[in-house]
Chains A and B, each alone.
Chain A
Amino acid sequence: MGTAAAVRESFQTENLSIFYGTYEAVKGISLPFAQKTVTALIGPSGCGKSTFLRSLNRMNDDISGSTTKGSIWIDGVDINAQGTDVIKLRQKIGMVWQKPNPFYKSIYENIAFGPKYHGVKGKAALDEIVESSLRRAALWDEVKDRLKDSALALSGGQQQRLCIARALSVNPQILLLDEPASALDPVSTGKVEELIKELKEDLRIVIVTHNMQQAARISDYTAYFYLGSLVEYDKTEKVFSNPENQMTQEYIMGRFG
Chain B
Amino acid sequence: MRGKTNTKKIEKHHIEDMVGRIYMSLCVLLLIVIIVSMVYFVASKGIANFISGEVKLTDFLFGTKWAPEADTPSYGALPFISGSFLVTLLAALIASPLSICAALFMTEIVPGWGKKLLQPVIELLSGIPSVVYGFVGLSVIVPFLRDTFPGQGIGVAAGALVLSVMILPTITSVAADALASLPQNLKESSFALGATRWQTISRVILPTTMPAIMTGVVLGMARAFGEALAVQMVIGNAPFVPRSLFESASTLTSVITLSMGNTTMGSTINNALWSMALVLMLMTFVFVLLVRMLERRNKI
B-contacting residues of A (Cβ < 8 Å)?
57, 59, 62, 64, 87-91, 93-95, 97-99, 101, 103-105, 113-114, 117-118, 150, 152, 163, 166-167, 169-170
Contact with A along B180-196 (1 / 0, CB 8 A): 00010110111111111
**How many residues of chain B are within 8 Å of chain A by beta carbon?**
20
Q: Out of A88, A91, A94, A104, name the residue touching B208 (CB < 8 Å).
A: A104
Does B139 reach chain A (CB closer than 8 Å)?
Answer: no
A150 touches B193 (CB 8 A): no
Pick out which of these stretches binds chain A: B45-53, B58-66, B199-207, B251-259.
B199-207
Contacts of B194 in A (CB 8 A): 87-91, 114, 117-118, 170
In the docked arrangement, what's the CA distance between A43 and B112, Å? Answer: 31
In the docked arrangement, what's the CA distance between A66 and B183, Å? Answer: 21
Contacts of B207 in A (CB 8 A): 104-105
Main secondary structure of the interface of B (DSSP, over half): helix
Interface residues of B in 97-124 (CB under 8 A from A): 111-112
B193 touches A169 (CB 8 A): yes
In the docked arrangement, what's the CA distance between A160 and B200, Å? Answer: 20
B189 touches A166 (CB 8 A): yes
> 19 additional contacts, CB 8 Å, given A87-B195, A103-B189?
A59-B188, A59-B191, A59-B192, A90-B194, A91-B194, A95-B188, A97-B185, A98-B185, A101-B185, A101-B189, A104-B207, A113-B193, A117-B195, A117-B196, A118-B194, A150-B300, A166-B189, A167-B193, A169-B193
A-contacting residues of B (Cβ < 8 Å)?
111-112, 183, 185-186, 188-196, 199, 203-204, 207-208, 300
A117 touches B193 (CB 8 A): yes
**Given known A-B contacts A97-B185, A99-B183, A90 and B192 have beta carbons under 8 A apart:** yes
B189 touches A163 (CB 8 A): yes
B204 touches A152 (CB 8 A): no
How many whole Å from A236's CB to the nearest CB in chain B? 26
B112 touches A64 (CB 8 A): yes
Considering only CB atoms, which chain A residue lies closest to B199 in the complex? A117
Contacts of B196 in A (CB 8 A): 87, 117
A90 touches B199 (CB 8 A): no
Contacts of B195 in A (CB 8 A): 87, 113-114, 117
Interface centre among A91, A103, A166, by most B CB within 10 Å? A103
Contacts of B111 in A (CB 8 A): 64
Contacts of A103 in B (CB 8 A): 186, 189-190, 204, 208
Interface centre among A93, A113, A166, by most B CB within 10 Å? A113
**Given known A-B contacts A103-B204, A104-B207, A105-B207, A95 and B190 have beta carbons under 8 A apart:** no
A166 touches B188 (CB 8 A): no
In the docked arrangement, what's the CA distance between A229 and B112, Å? Answer: 29
Considering only CB atoms, which chain B residue lies closest to A118 in the complex? B194
Contacts of B190 in A (CB 8 A): 103, 113
Considering only CB atoms, which chain B residue lies closest to A150 in the complex? B300
| A–B Cβ pairs within 8 angstroms, 25 of them | A59-B191, A62-B188, A62-B191, A64-B111, A89-B194, A90-B194, A95-B189, A97-B185, A98-B185, A101-B186, A101-B189, A103-B186, A103-B208, A104-B207, A104-B208, A113-B193, A114-B193, A117-B193, A117-B194, A117-B195, A117-B199, A118-B194, A166-B189, A167-B193, A170-B193
Considering only CB atoms, which chain B residue lies closest to A110 in the complex? B189
Q: Out of A57, A97, A152, name the residue touching B300 (CB < 8 Å).
A: A152
Contacts of B204 in A (CB 8 A): 103, 113
In the docked arrangement, what's the CA distance between A64 and B190, Å? Answer: 19
Contacts of B203 in A (CB 8 A): 113
How many whole Å from A166's CB to the nearest CB in chain B? 7
B191 touches A166 (CB 8 A): no
